[in-house]
Amino acid sequence: MRLQTLALAILFVMNIVTPPVPLLGQPSPQVVPPGIQGSPPEEEGRAKLEKEMAKKANQERHADLKRDTDKLLKLATELKEYVDKSNENVLSLNVLKKAEQIEKLAHSVKDKMKGPN
């Protein structure tokens, strides 16, 4: 009796653990590895959202670059005017301030051109 109970328990466990064998003539289910499976809709939506956010950030960075380069041109023009007005013996304080502003802005433009990396 104990042997029959043990045999039934083993058969029951084996039936649960091992997948059923398909009958002949029936198509077997296709197993697709996880890496090859299609992306779930949430992942596709997330990827699309990330792409849109990156595009928007790039557009904002480009607008900032345009604004900063326009300001850089204006400052450089003003610096040239100050230098033209000064003589060889006197260097205006405004010339030094403009040069410092240009330097800071040029570094900022350079960093923005490199991007977020």
pLDDT of residue 89: 79
Distance in angstroms (rounded) separating the CA atoms of residues 5 and 8: 5
Instruction: Name the pLDDT band for 115 (thresholds 50, 70, 90).
Output: confident
| Average pLDDT, integer, range 59-78 | 93
Statement: residue 20 has pLDDT above 60? no
pLDDT of residue 101: 93
User: 33 — alpha (psi -120 to 50), left (phi > 0) or beta?
Assistant: beta
Give the pLDDT confidence of 38-54 residue by residue, as tens digits.
557 788 889 999 999 99
Q: Whole-prediction pTM value? A: 0.55
| Average pLDDT, integer, range 92-98 | 85
In this structure, what token pair is assigned to residue 97?
């301030």
